């Protein structure tokens, strides 16, 4: 008999989980997420907990545990990332076609297609809020938007994460 590690995840009652062969389907209010899992990982629901069993020795086991835990947390309450446009005349606006129009100091307007599975809200024309139940999509969308105008610490402008400070660090002289 193989020795197995068991890990528990608290499962909110509104989230439904189905296992189809080697796939897991997460459902909350008609919001579905489907992931493929390895055959040696066993997942079952017991009351308000989700039990994940996996054999000892596989390096990726803890990764699957964290992935499932993040998906459950994301479905229960979305992951959020906030970006701020810093610069004179920098503006952002949503269009009807799930695009973001960015005016960020170039001679033209930049159109960015929003990733499928993410929800973007813009307030005060300078605050961009990205929401999604999948943590990796939130981070990827934030990086995709920030690529258009990286923060410049010398000029103090660019697309920055909310709360991030643009400070030039000067090392001590000997």
Per-residue pLDDT tens over the stretch 38-48: 888 888 888 88
Kindly report the pTM of this predicted structure.
0.80
- What pLDDT digit, counting tens, does each position of 96-150 carry? 888 999 999 999 999 999 998 899 999 999 999 999 988 999 999 999 999 999 9
**What domain count does the chain have?**
2
Residue 170 domain-assigned? no
What is the CA angle 65-132-20, rounded to 5? 50
Q: Which domain holds residue 108?
A: 79-161
Same domain, 25 and 72: yes
Same domain, 113 and 142: yes
d(CA 11, CA 42): 16
d(CA 91, CA 155): 17
CATH assignment at residue 23: 3.90.930.12
Residue 173 domain-assigned? no
**CA 32 to mean position of chain CA atoms:** 16
Same domain, 66 and 84: no
User: Helix, strand, or coil here: 35?
Assistant: strand
Phi and psi angles of residue 56, each rounded to the nearest 5 degrees, phi first: -75, 145
Domain boundary (21, 52, 76) is at 76
Same domain, 108 and 49: no
Same domain, 45 and 84: no
């Amino acid at each position: 008999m193989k020795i197995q590690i068991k890990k528990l995840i608290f499962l909110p009652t509104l989230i439904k989980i189905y296992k189809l062969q080697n796939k897991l389907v997460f459902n909350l209010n008609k919001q579905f997420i489907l992931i493929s899992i390895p055959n040696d990982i066993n997942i079952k629901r017991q009351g308000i907990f989700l039990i994940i069993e996996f054999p000892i020795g596989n390096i990726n086991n803890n990764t699957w545990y964290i992935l499932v835990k993040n998906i459950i947390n994301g479905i229960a309450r979305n992951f959020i990332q906030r970006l701020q446009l810093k610069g004179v005349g920098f503006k952002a606006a949503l269009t009807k076609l799930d695009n973001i129009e960015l005016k960020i100091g170039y001679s033209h307007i930049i159109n960015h297609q929003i990733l499928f599975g993410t929800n973007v809200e813009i307030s005060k024309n300078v605050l961009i809020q990205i929401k999604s139940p999948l943590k990796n999509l939130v981070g990827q969308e934030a990086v995709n938007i920030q690529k258009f105008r990286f923060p410049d610490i010398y000029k103090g402008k660019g697309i920055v994460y909310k709360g991030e400070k643009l400070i030039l660090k000067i090392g001590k002289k000997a």
